Amino acid sequence: MMTRRDLLKQMAWVTAGSFMINDTLAMDVKNKKVGVQLYTLRNAIGKDPKGTLKKVADLGYGEVESFGYNGKFFGMTPAEYKTVLGDLGLTAPSGHYMYGNFGNKKIPGTVLYGWEKAVEDAAAIGQQYMVIAYLMPEERGDIDNYKRTAASISKAAEVCKKAGIQLCYHNHDFEFEAQNGVLPFDILTKETPADLVKIELDLYWATKAGQDPVSLFKQHKGRVALWHVKDMDNSPKKNFTEVGNGVIDFATIFKNAKTSGMKHFFVEQDECPGSPFDSIAKSIGHIKSNLLKQL
């Protein structure tokens, strides 16, 4: 029979354990690995995948987000790619994929063609997320078409779930252009189950579209699992620029990471003024010096 003293001791251990767990979680957040979307380095990785990945690791990045899957990852089989990443101390928790309703509609590894194999290969390299990267202009259409797209994405998410992978949708600015008072972004989020389809919020494109990222976090609390961290310069053209070199209030955004539900974030810069390696070096420097402490 458990005495009151035994019960108090047990409760003390449980309480101490919970503090230890909380401390560990805090430590994980503070030491969160910075990721980079490899599209930023598309020219370099197309010529020298292994050398490019080594440079990424040497700059202090711990995670990468892949793109361009076509049955292989930058010309490597899943096993080869996973080995290369592991040897460099990198992981690829996420990757970008296309919807696939364009061209000949037979591009391997899209939602509409070869999706099961793409999911299988993503699981093989240890991906936790697969992201619908972009809807081509011919894939957008009217609100009814967005509803059909959302239905297809939901089915793709079911396939992901069976493999232990979370599907996400990545925005640009066109999803925030209203059609008869309705935002395509709202259709894509309301017409898909929140547990099956999370959001990868591109902070630049959302801001450029006149949206407040923190307001979107609150609107979709816990659903914005991934971020693209890229900055916007203070010019009429609102060009891409290195993180910390522009006008986006990243300090406030990072302070609201818990509201977002953010699990991973990736530096991305679609266009760079010089070497993209110089740009991602500047971005990670600013993030480590100024933003990780906001988490």
Q: Is 80 exceeded by the pLDDT of residue 19?
A: no
pLDDT in tens, 128-147: 999 999 999 999 999 999 99
Residue 32 pLDDT:
79
Angle of helix 78-87 versus helix 49-58 axis, rounded to 10: 30
97 pLDDT above the threshold of 90: yes
pLDDT above 70 for 21: no
Is it the case that residue 182 has pLDDT exceeding 60? yes
C-alpha distances in angstroms, 54 versus 14, 88, 176, 230, 277?
43, 6, 37, 22, 11
C-alpha–C-alpha distance, residues 33 and 11, integer Å: 34
Question: CA 62, 276, 234: angle at the middle one, nearest 5?
Answer: 105
Q: What is the DSSP letter of 165?
A: -
Closest C-alpha among 99, 30, 41, 35 to residue 64: 35
On the question of pLDDT at 93 being above 90, the answer is: yes
Is residue 68 predicted with pLDDT exceeding 80? yes
Q: Mean per-residue pLDDT for 145-165? A: 98
Mean pLDDT of the chain: 92
Question: Does the pLDDT of residue 72 top 60, yes or no?
Answer: yes
Res. 3: pLDDT tops 70: no
- pLDDT score for 6: 45
Residue 8 is predicted with a pLDDT of 38
* pLDDT at position 209: 98
Domain boundaries defined on the chain = 1-31, 35-294
Q: How confident is the model at residue 13 (pLDDT cuts 50, 70, 90)?
A: very low
DSSP SS3 for 161: helix
Confidence of residue 86 (pLDDT cuts 50, 70, 90): very high
- For range 174-182, the mean pLDDT: 98
- Model's pTM, two decimal places? 0.90
Q: Which residue has the tokens 């609100």?
A: 143
pLDDT per residue over 219-266, tens digit each?
Answer: 999 999 999 999 999 999 999 999 999 999 999 999 999 999 999 999
CATH superfamily of domain region 35-294: Divalent-metal-dependent TIM barrel enzymes (3.20.20.150)
pLDDT value at 4 more than 90: no
- In whole angstroms, give the CA distance from residue 283 to residue 295: 17
Q: Give the pLDDT band (50/70/90) at residue 31.
A: low
Is 50 exceeded by the pLDDT of residue 27? no
